[in-house]
Structure 1
Amino acid sequence: MALTPLYGDAVSHLEDVLKEIQKPFSNIDNEIVLNLFRRSYEILREVLTFETDPLYMDSVAGVLKCLETQQKLFTAKCNTKSTCEKNGSPVKEGNRKPWKRILLYGPPGTGKSRLALALASATTSTFYSISSSDLLSHWVGESEKSIRELFQHACQNNSSSIIFIDEIDSICRKRNMQEEEHTRRFKTELLKQIEGIDNRENSDKLFLLCATNCPWELDVAFLRRFQKRIYIPLPDKKARIEMFKIHTNNSHINMSDEDWEILSQKTNLYSGSDIANLTLGALFEPVREMQTAKYWKRLSGGNFIPCNVETSDAIYSELEYLPSHLVIPKAVQLDDFLNSMKTHSKTVSEADITQFVQFSESQNYY
C-alpha cells in the first residue's frame, strides 16, 4: 500500500506539529485526555492522508475519451508558460489558456473517482481529495473557513495542485428559501473561491476537478463556474471486455475470444463497479465448487482438481480428505461468470441513462 499525501507538506510536518501540541499534556496522567489526544491524531492523519494502491492511466478502462481530454488539459496546464516554435518564431498563448474547473458527471460506478486518482498518480502535483465531511462543520463559520484555507493552501504550493471534490452535489444543491442560513453562507463562500481561481496570484498552478452522479441537482451558479463538463457514460462493449481482463489479470482463467464476446453482450448496462463485483464473484465460483465437489481428477503433477463423475479416472473423495497443498481450483470459465450474474445484477437502469442523456442534451454538453 502506498501512502498518498493530500495536503502536500502538511503530512511531512504532522509528527512535529503533534509533538508540540502534546507538550502541555506531558505531565498529565489522565487517561481520558491521552485517549482524546490519540484520537485527534488519528483523525488528523485520516484527513491529511489516505492509503491506496498506485493507480495509473492504463488501469482505467472504458473512459478513453475522458482520459485523453484530462491528460491534454492537465498537460497544457502544467506547461502554461511554455512556448512552441512555428516558422522559427515563438507563438505566445495570449488569452488561450487551459480549463481550470472541470466537472465529471455520469451514472454511479463509471470510474469518475478513479479518473481523479489516476490523474494524481500520473502527475507530480499535490492532490487534495475532499469530501463534504471534510468541509462541513457544526461550528458557525468553520465551514467557510475550511474552504478558504483549502484554496489558499493549494495556491501557496510551489508545485501545481489538484483539488478533487467527490459527490459535489451533496454540498452544492440548488438553493431555496427553506435552507438554513449557514448552508447558504457555505455555498456562497465556495462559489466565491471557485470563481476566484482565475484571479489568484498562482492561479496557473491550481486545477479544480469535481464529480457527481446527480448533475441536475447542482445549483445553476455552480454549473456555470465549471468551464468544461464531461459526461462519463457506461462502458461500451469493447470497454467491458477490457475491464473484465483487467480484473482477471494474474488469475487462472480459461476464456476464448468468443467467450469474452458473449459475456460482454450479456453485461449490457453494467457499470465499472458492477463489472468489478461480478468478476470477484466469478473468481470465487471455482472455490465454491471445491467445497461441494465429490469427484476429483489427479493431474500429472500430483494436484487434484474437481471434475464430473463421467470424467475418466475420476476419484471419489471429499475435500477434507485430500492433501490441502495439492488441491487447486479449476480455471475460471464463462459458466462461472454467468453463475455470478445471478447474484450480481446491474445497478443502472435504462431510465437512468435516459435522464443523463436528456440532461446533457438540454445543457448542450455534447
Structure 2
Amino acid sequence: MTTKKTTTPALDYPQQLSPIVHAWILTTILDLGGHREFIHKDFFSDDQLATAIGLDKWLNCKPPLNRADILKTLRDQQQKLLNDPATFATPYNLDLTHNLDNLKALIHLSDVECALLEFTLITYNEPLLNNALDQLGAISSDQLNRILAFLLQKTPQEIQAALSSNGALARTGLMRVHHGPSLFFRGKIDLLSRNFIEAMFSHETTPYNILKDVVSKSKPTDLSLDNFGYLKTELNILVPYLQHALDHNQKGVNILIYGEPGTGKTELARTLVEHFQVAAYEVVSESIHGEGVEKGEQRLYAYLAAQNFFCNQKSLIIFDEIEDVFFDAGADGLPNFSKAWFNHILETNQIPTIWICNDTYDIDPAIIRRFDFTFHLASPPKSERKAMLESALKGKLSPNTLNTLALSKALVPAIIDRTAKVLNTIYDDVAENFDEAATTIINGTLKAQGNPEIRVAKIGGLSDIYNPAFTNTDSNLALLAERLKVFNEARICLYGASGTGKSAFAHYLADYLNKPLLIKKVSDLMDKYVGETEKQIAEAFYEATTTGAILLMDEVDSFLRDRRSAQQNYEITMVNEMLTQMEEFSGIFIATTNLMDHLDQAMLRRFDFKVKFDYLKADQAWLLFNEQCRYLGFQSVDMNLEAEFKKMTRLTPGDFAISARQAKLGVITTPEEIVTQLVKENTLKESKGTTIGFVQNK
C-alpha cells in the first residue's frame, strides 16, 4: 500500500498523527463523550492512544489522574488544530483524494457520500482513530448518523440519506451499514473488501484494481460453442438473446445455469463470453490473498460494484456458486437482506449476468421466476463424452477403452480435464499402460464421489461393433432411427427370439440420438405389494420424461399379459397403468418381448411400430463373423468357412456375443474356433425346435 502523508507547519501536537486525524480523535474524545470511557480514575483505557495525543506524562504519574488537567490539555490541542486552516484543507493522502475524485465521477457519488467514504477508509488506515471511536462504546444506527454528522460537519439527515439502501454507496456495494443491534463503530460499517481499501490508497489505481480481490477478469477457454453441440436447442435461444441484450444495452438480463458439479457450467459461460468477444468479469469465491470470500452477502455486494464500475463497456458478468448467497437462508430465502431487494437486483442490472449453481434447492421459486432463461446442464451424452476423451487425451486411448469409459454418465468434463492434465504431463512414463492409467485416475474420482467404477474389458464384445445391418428385421432400422432424430417420439415393440438384437438396437438408438437410455427390467417394476408395481411403472415413465431418456422395458410379456386371461385383479391394473402411461408419454418408449402373442391386445394397438427380429440370414452372419474377427485381431479368415454359415439357420447376434466373451477368456483364439462355437449354438436351438412368438396376421 502506498501512502503519502502531507507535511504541515509545526504545531504543538504529536507529528505521527496527521492534523485531520488528530482533530477527529480529539473531537471524538472531547465533544462526543469518548473521554468517559477513555479517562478512568487511575488509568487510560488505551495507553497507545494516550501517548499518540500527548498524554504520556500522565502514564507514569501517581494516581489518581487529574481529569481536569488532562481535558484542558486536550482542549488546547484541539483549539490549535481548529484555528489552523491547513487542518481540514490539506488532503490526508493525495492518492486517496485522486482516487475518490475518479470514483465520484465513475459512479456519481455526492459530496456527502465522498466524505463518508473517505472518513471510513481513513479509519481502516489509522488504527488510533478507530480506537478513539471505540471509546464511544456500542452505538445504534441513529447514533452512528449523529456521530458522523458531527465529525464531518454535515446534518444527520444528510448522513442518513447517504447511508440508506437507496444511496450510491449501498447500491454499488462499496459501503454499507449494519442496522440492528448496537455495535462498535467498525462493526456498524463494512467496506467492500480489504483490497478495495488498499487500492484506494495506491497510486494510479483503476476500477478493476479496486475490485480485483472480489471480481476477476474471466479466464480464457480453449473451447468453442461447437463443443456444446448437444445443447443446440438451448444455445439457439441463449446466443441471440444475449447478443440482442449486448447490442441494445438491455437491462435486467439474467441467465441461470444449474447442474451437477463438473458438467461444464462455468466453461460454457466462459465460452459464451469468448463467442461475443466482450469484456467479462467473474465474482470470485476466493480472494487474491488466498482467503475464501466467506459471506455470500459480500459476494453479492462485489457483484453490485462490478455492475456499476463496468456498465459503460460491453461486458458480461459470471456469478458462479450462487448457493453462497442463499446458504442458511431464512424464510425470505435470503440471508441478511430481503427477497424484494434481490428481485430488484435481477430487474435492474445493467450488465447481462450468467448465474451458476449446482442445484436450485435453496433458491426461492419466486426468485427463479425472475431469471429470463433457466436451464439444466446435465452430463454430456455418450458421443460427446467420447469426443471429449479423444480430444483431451490426444487420441491415445484404445477404441475399446474409449467406448467403455464414455458409457459412464458420471464421467463429467471436469474429470476428463483433470485426467488429461495428469496423463499428458507424464505420458512417457505411462505410455505402455496408458489405458490402465486413464481408467485408474478416472475410477479414483468416481469412487470418491460414490459413483460406480468403470470396468474395461481387455477385449470388446458385440456391442462395440453393433450395426443395424447385422440384424434380420421386417423393418428398416436405419430409416426408423433417422426419422426418430426428427420426431423424437414413438412407441415401439421389438419382438423375436432371444439374442436377435432387440435390446442391442435400443442401445444403438440411444447412442445414435445422443440420449440416455433408461432400462427397466421385470425385477425393477414388479413388487409384491398391491399397487406398488403400478407406482413403479409410473415412476419409470416420469424418470424418462425428466431426464429426456429413451425408456426401455425388457421382457414385458412377463407382467403385461392379455387381460382376458388374467387370474388376479392386479394383473389388470398393471396393464391399465401401462396403457395410461403410454398414452401420456411424449418421448421414445421401447418394449421387448420373446412372446408377442401373450401381450394384451389393447396394448399392442398402442405401439406405433412393431418390429420383428428374426434369425440372421446367411450373408448377414458371414459379414458379422468377418467383422468380429477383425475386431478380435485375427489376421486372416479362411474364405471356405462361408459354406458353414449357409447351413446354420438359427444364428443370432447373441451367439456371436458368446464367442466374443469366450475369446476374452482365451478359450477361442482362431476364426475356426468361432465357427465351431456358432455351430454348437445353432445345433442346440434346432434340436429344441425353437420358434419365435408373434401374432399371426389373418
Task: Report the TM-score range of the alignment, normalised by the length of the smaller protein.
Answer: 0.5 to 0.7
Deviation per residue, 1:212-232 (Å, 9 max, x gap): 111011111111111110111
Q: 2:409 and 2:563 mapped to 1: Cα distance?
A: 30
Structure 1's 347 and 2: CA in aligned 2 closer, same or farther, altered over 3 A? farther
For residue 154 of structure 1, what is the aligned residue in structure 2? 544
> CA-to-partner distance for each residue in 1:45-69, whole Å, 9 max, x for gaps?
89xx997989467545422754313
Pair 1:342–1:144, CA change in 2 (3 A)? closer
State which of 190, 193, 200 in structure 1 corresponds to 2:581.
193
- The alpha-carbon deviation at position 283 of structure 1 amounts to 8.7
How far residue 253 of structure 1 moved from its aligned partner, in angstroms, is 4.6
Query: How many angstroms does 1:104 deviate by?
Result: 0.7
Q: Distance in 1 between matches of 2:481 and 2:558?
A: 27
What is the alpha-carbon distance in structure 1 between the residues aligned to residue 406 and residue 535 of structure 2?
Answer: 27
Amino acid paired to 2:524: D
Query: 2:500·2:653 contact (CA, 8 Å) conserved in 1?
Result: yes
Looking at structure 1, the residues matched to 575 and 524 of structure 2 have their Cα atoms a distance apart, in angstroms, of 15
Query: What TM-score do the two structures reach when normalised by structure 1?
Result: 0.57
- Structural mapping, 1:1-366, within 5 Å: 1-2=404-405, 4=407, 55=463, 58-59=466-467, 61-63=469-471, 65-78=475-488, 100-157=490-547, 160-176=548-564, 179-197=567-585, 203=586, 206-248=587-629, 249-259=631-641, 261-278=642-659, 332-334=670-672, 336-337=673-674, 339-340=676-677, 343-349=680-686, 352-353=690-691, 356=693, 359=694, 361-362=696-697
Taking only the aligned residue pairs, the percentage that are identical comes to: 22
Higher-Rg member (1/2): 2
Residue deviations 1:338-361 (CA, integer Å, cap 9, x gap): 5445644445449545x55xx455
CA contact (8 A) 2:465 2:628 kept: no
1:242/1:338 CA distance change after superposition, 3 Å? closer
Structure 1 residues 361 and 186: alpha-carbon distance in aligned structure 2, compared to 1, 3 A threshold: closer
Q: Which amino acid aligns with 2:640?
A: E
Deviation at 1:152, TM superposition (A): 2.4
> RMSD of aligned C-alpha atoms?
3.8
Give the total of aligned pairs: 250
Q: Match of 2:483, as an amino acid?
A: L
Question: Alpha carbons of 1:151 and 1:110: their partners in 2 closer, same or farther (altered >3 Å)?
Answer: same
Over residues 267-314 of structure 1, what are the superposed CA-to-partner deviations in whole Å (9 max), with x where a residue is unaligned? 2221222233356668989x69xxxxxxxxxxxxxxxxxxxxxxxxxx
Q: 1:232 is paired with a residue of what secondary structure? A: strand
User: Normalising to structure 2: TM-score of the pair?
Assistant: 0.32
Q: Is the 8 A contact 2:615 2:652 kept in 1?
A: yes
* 2:203 matched residue in structure 1: none
- 2: CA distance, partners of 1:141 / 1:130: 18
- Please give the alpha-carbon distance, in whole angstroms, between the structure 2 residues aligned to 1:106 and 1:339: 25
Higher strand share: 1
1:147–1:190 contact (8 Å) kept in structure 2:
yes
Query: Could you say if the C-alpha distance between residues 57 and 341 of structure 1 is closer, same or farther in structure 2, counting changes exceeding 3 Å?
Result: closer
Question: One-letter code of the match for 1:62?
Answer: F
3-state SS of paired residue (1:186): helix
Kept after mapping to 2: 8 A contact 1:282/1:339: no
Where structure 1 has 5 or more consecutive residues not aligned to the other structure, the ranges are 10-43, 79-98, 198-202, 289-330
